[in-house]
Amino acid sequence: MSQLTEASVRQLVAQEYERAAAMFPDWAHPYSGLRFSRSKRCFGQAHMDGTLVLSRNFLGTDASDDLLDTIRHEFAHLVVGSRHKHNERWRCAAASLGASPHARGNATNEALNEKMS
């Protein structure tokens, strides 16, 4: 498996956005773009302004499964709205998008776990 780069992450986000937008035409917080953070506390965040924020710690790893789950998880937050947190409505959207319908503490990828600690 190849190492994730900023370009490959952006491409994956764009692909997942197109898929999610086809499934959910009306979003509580319409997607407005991607940015990266230096966070070691969380893999990603969805902001009310529609921004998807991903940890730079994905870069240089082969943690594409964890990245995909994180993107889908955060898009579910944008779809249903921040007030729903991880409730049943959010879990349904997350499952529909193919994300694990819960917040995870650890990655399945050891290199990513090391970078996050």
Q: Which are the contacts of 11, defined by CB distance < 8 A and separation ≥ 6?
A: none
Bridging pattern class, strands 51-55 and 33-37: parallel
Separation in Å, CA 104 to CA 23, 69, 101: 24, 10, 9
- What is the distance between the alpha carbons of residues 9 and 11, in angstroms, rounded to a whole number? 5
pTM: 0.95
**Mean pLDDT of successive 10-residue segments in the chain (117 residues)?**
93 98 98 96 95 98 96 98 94 95 81 93
- What does the block give as tokens for 69? 């789950």
